[in-house]
Structure 1
Amino acid sequence: MATWGYLNFQDSASPLMEQLIFFHDHAMVVLILITTFVGYIMLSLFFNSLVHRFLLENQNIEIIWTALPAIILIFIALPSLRLLYLLDEVNTPSITLKTIGHQWYWSYEYSDFLQLEFDSYMTPLTDLSQSGFRLIDVDNRTVLPMSTQVRVLITAADVIHSWTVPALGVKADAVPGRLNQVSFMLNRPGLFFGQCSEICGANHSFMPIVIESVSVNSFLNWVLSSENS
């Protein structure tokens, strides 16, 4: 039974993803109400024999079924626009990570530290440990501090890739010659998995992303050990 847990998306790990989930639930409530109302009207039409021989028009109904959908769209559009602005908003970052997509692996550069950069390849099955995750684990995980505003600069060296981590609510194209920018904050420790979401060639599905969220002290210790090695 535990295997089924791996088939689902991970729980949200950032405030942005929580807002995306809230908006999804809000939109689903509106859709369920509309579907229920329309279904009730259709059933009532099928199972009654009420007629009106002299009914030619009804201005009140025309006004209602024109105004009501417009009001419903406003209730969906306003939270959606708010969320779009939140996703594009970049607060003052405490750390900047540069991500470069290659065929078929990712490179990471920690711009705030000297000579802290590495390539991240998918772990082959022959090297995978018993506790590893098949096809989504990597040899060098991207370590980031939690409760810290992180800015990620995303580009590519060859073709278009897409840096995507569903648990963080982050998805941005990596385009050669262009820098895209996303911002997020990790609100809990753990491992968060993603993958290239742009068809970039034969091994497109074999360039996973693993974000390791740790405490600030653990992150600083990792930086010191990485710089010294």
Structure 2
Amino acid sequence: MGMGTRARGLIGGGLAVLTLSLFAAGCSEGPELIGQPTDGAIGLQPAASPLKVEAHMFHDAILMPIITFICLLVLGLILWIVFRYNKKSNPVPARWSHNTLVEVIWTVVPVLILVFIALFSFRLLFNYHNMPEPDLTVKVTGNQWNWAYEYPDQAIPEYISNMLPEDEIAARGMPHSLYRLAADEPMVVPVGANVRLLVTAADVIHAVAMPAFGLKTDAVPGRVNETWFRADRPGIYYGQCSELCGVDHAFMPIQINVVSRAEFATWVASKGGSMTPRTVEQAPGGTAAQIEAGTTGAPTVTDGATA
């Protein structure tokens, strides 16, 4: 008899997974756009921060080779079993059902593979949490359905960032692919600065996701989560809320403009802020630390709850 429907399905699934793995690892569909989606691309966005560079290395040098090897191994085993042990090639079936050595191998080897992956995974997670001394703090608040940004170190009060309407995208001569990505009031940060984000929400759970920086941090009401990034090149970077938060979830993009320090100082002045801290406590990290301790007039955090 020929191979059964289940066997053909397993082989087809194995080939599909293998093809996708190899294609994702080596595919390049023309020049990739920095900080925004690229037509025809299937891989990760180009890295624009040290954390994303490390995430790329973990994905490309550790995960993809292991995934490809496992797919090839499983596909080979399936093909061997289908052709070697079908009814035509093996008319008298074996009467044994267990093999201790085989069971030990397929238990121990996956454990060793997972431990190997964990060595690199834990190091990457540590780097995400091991934030260097921040040069700038931005408080990010998710709302239904927009984002609010506040710069305590520069005394810039909270302002609202909404999605640019489709007609405004066309009026500004921007590509239509930026619809639902571009914002009217973006977050602005200087290039090369260590930016600390204090992330919370005013109503339901949202999530700050910025693919080019390798960021995804939940915005939870009554709680302040902390993350950081450092943009290594100027440009405009786009992200979105990545936590299903309501009917207009798809309409609350995140836009971060990375500019020179001189341009950042000009932008701060245009917002009525100042690059010179008024007190020692308001130096970079000072005010943000007081916000966490609930000792300033800004929105405070006490025992994980915003006041």
- Aligning the two structures, in what range does the TM-score lie when normalised by the shorter sequence? 0.7 to 0.9
Aligned residue number for residue 185 of structure 1: 230
Deviates more, 1:91-100 or 1:157-166: 157-166
CA distance in 2, matches of 1:167, 1:120: 19
Normalising to structure 1: TM-score of the pair?
A: 0.87
CA distance in 2, matches of 1:218, 1:17: 25
Which of 38, 42, 46 is equivalent to 2:78?
42
What's the CA shift string for 1:80-139, capped at 9, x where partnerless? 111122222222101000011111111110111123442111112233322252221111
- Give the aligned length: 228
Q: Equivalent residue of 2:66, what SS?
A: helix
Aligned residue number for residue 193 of structure 2: 148
Q: Which amino acid aligns with 2:259?
A: V
Aligned residue number for residue 157 of structure 1: 202
Aligned residue number for residue 131 of structure 1: 174
Q: Equivalent residue of 1:222, what SS?
A: helix
Indicate how the Cα distance of structure 1 residues 39 and 224 shifts in structure 2: closer, same or farther if over 3 A, else same.
same
* TM-fit CA distance, 1:60: 4.9
User: Is the CA contact (8 Å cut-off) linking 1:154 and 1:172 kept in structure 2?
Assistant: yes
Q: Equivalent residue of 2:271, what SS?
A: helix
Indicate how the Cα distance of structure 1 residues 55 and 95 shifts in structure 2: closer, same or farther if over 3 A, else same.
same
Report which structure shows greater RCO (CA 8 Å, sep ≥6).
Answer: 1
* TM-fit CA distance, 1:58: 6.1
Q: Equivalent residue of 1:85, what SS?
A: helix
Aligned residue number for residue 261 of structure 2: 216
Indicate how the Cα distance of structure 1 residues 118 and 45 shifts in structure 2: closer, same or farther if over 3 A, else same.
same
5 Å-filtered alignment, 1:61-210, equals: 61-128=102-169, 129-131=172-174, 133-210=178-255
What 5-or-longer segments of structure 2 have no aligned partner? 1-29, 274-307
User: Is the CA contact (8 Å cut-off) linking 2:156 and 2:271 kept in structure 1?
Assistant: no
Higher strand share: 1
CA distance in 2, matches of 1:161, 1:183: 17
What's the CA shift string for 1:187-206, capped at 9, x where partnerless? 11111111111222221111
CA distance in 1, matches of 2:71, 2:246: 41
What 5-or-longer segments of structure 1 have no aligned partner? none
CA distance in 2, matches of 1:66, 1:176: 42
CA distance in 1, matches of 2:246, 2:238: 21
Normalising to structure 2: TM-score of the pair?
A: 0.66
Q: Equivalent residue of 1:22, what SS?
A: helix
Q: Which amino acid aligns with 1:162?
A: A
CA distance in 1, matches of 2:95, 2:203: 70
**1:29 partnered with 2:74:** no
Q: Which amino acid aligns with 1:114?
A: A
CA distance in 1, matches of 2:205, 2:161: 17
Indicate how the Cα distance of structure 1 residues 125 and 59 shifts in structure 2: closer, same or farther if over 3 A, else same.
closer
Deviates more, 1:45-54 or 1:162-171: 45-54
CA distance in 2, matches of 1:145, 1:172: 21
CA distance in 1, matches of 2:153, 2:97: 73
Q: Equivalent residue of 1:195, what SS?
A: strand
Higher-Rg member (1/2): 2
Report percent identity of matched pairs.
41
Q: Equivalent residue of 1:19, what SS?
A: helix
What's the CA shift string for 1:22-80, capped at 9, x where partnerless? 22221121011122123223333343469998989766545433332222121112111
User: Is the CA contact (8 Å cut-off) linking 1:10 and 1:192 kept in structure 2?
Assistant: no
Aligned residue number for residue 52 of structure 2: 17
What's the CA shift string for 1:125-156, capped at 9, x where partnerless? 23332225222111111111121111000111
Q: Which amino acid aligns with 1:192?
A: Y
